[in-house]
Amino acid sequence: MLVLMLAGCAGTRSFNQTVRAGDTVALGVGWRQNLSKSNITVEITPVPTGVPVVYGPNDPAIRAVFNLYPDPLSGLLVSPRVGEDLTFAAQQYASLVETLYTGPDNDWSETVVFVDLPLPANLPVGRARIQVSGGGYDDPPASIVEIVDGVGRPQDFSTEGGGLTANQLAALERVDNYVVSFSGSTIPYAVQIDLTHDPDRDSGGVGKAYVVNTRGDIKNVAWNDDGLNLRVLLTSANNQPLSDLLDFKFYLAGGITGLSAPVVQAYDINGNVIAGVSASVMVNP
């Protein structure tokens, strides 16, 4: 998560930072989980002055948009949970991520955008600024790369079986989903949420419900869907209360449609009902 730390403290970074026109660069653009190829614009401008090259949404030069997550066994994640630096200053680094970057949201990730640079005819030797915008993020910081002499080529993402195709790269990106999050004045021990939706594929409609936990080391997610009704039960993973209502957040994917307003029942550690906890459902591209 070095990329995450750099982006959280100082804007975006490109890899590599010295490239040829025509090469592929990877841009670490920060905690931007709503970004996708369909909603971003990439602007590449010679520095200090020059004619910008602009790639709009779904431009083939925008090769992929990935969200990268830290290893669940990394010092960055484990150390703050056990209250001990299992690697040097890991608790401090984790605190910086939350303070400067995600706030109390423990769904840590780094969004990386792979972009093919223009050919030399449109990108002279010298410094160039690359700015990624869209997905609800206004005035994001830019990456600076040094363009050296020569003609580069797009990265083929070589593997033992050959380069990755555009479809294989797309399969690594996020699919359309809903984000289900909670609000209220009290943090419960457990939450049950019920939703209804249009018939799924097995019931004569479209889609198939699939619930995704944001942090399996923090909370447990048990769920069941019968084709029309979805119930999700959220509890602490270690029998201790969660620290923030954002810890209960989860994703719902699979292409189902017609979601109802959620019905929420929240409980304290003794099983008593807690009033005033509600859920919201947001559509992600």
What domains does the chain contain, in order, with CATH numbers?
2-69+109-170 (2.60.40.10), 177-284 (2.60.40)
Which residues, 6+ apart, have CB-to-CB distance to 256 below 8 Å? 197, 198, 200, 205, 206, 207, 208, 209
Kindly state the average pLDDT of the residues 274-278. Answer: 96
Write down the pLDDT at residue 12: 58
Write down the pLDDT at residue 7: 45
What six digits make up the tokens of 112?
């990386």
Note the pLDDT tens digit of each residue in 25-66: 999 888 898 899 999 999 999 999 899 999 999 999 999 999
Residue 3 has pLDDT above 50, yes or no: no
Percent of the chain whose predicted confidence (pLDDT) is above 90: 82
Q: What is the DSSP string of 171-233?
A: TTSPPPEEEEEEE-SS--SEEEEEEE-S--GGGTSS---EEEES-TTTEEEEEEE-SSEEEEE
Q: What is the DSSP string of 234-251?
A: EEESSSS--S-GGGG-EE
Residue 168 near residue 207 (C-beta atoms within 8 A): no
Mean pLDDT over each residue of the chain, to the nearest integer:
92
Write down the pLDDT at residue 114: 96
Write down the pLDDT at residue 229: 98
Kindly state the average pLDDT of the residues 148-166. Answer: 90
Task: Place 2 in a pLDDT band, splitting at 50, 70 and 90.
Answer: very low
pTM of this prediction? Answer: 0.89
For residues 14 and 94, what is the distance between their CA atoms, to the nearest angstrom?
Answer: 23
Note the pLDDT tens digit of each residue in 192-229: 999 999 999 999 999 999 999 999 999 999 999 999 99
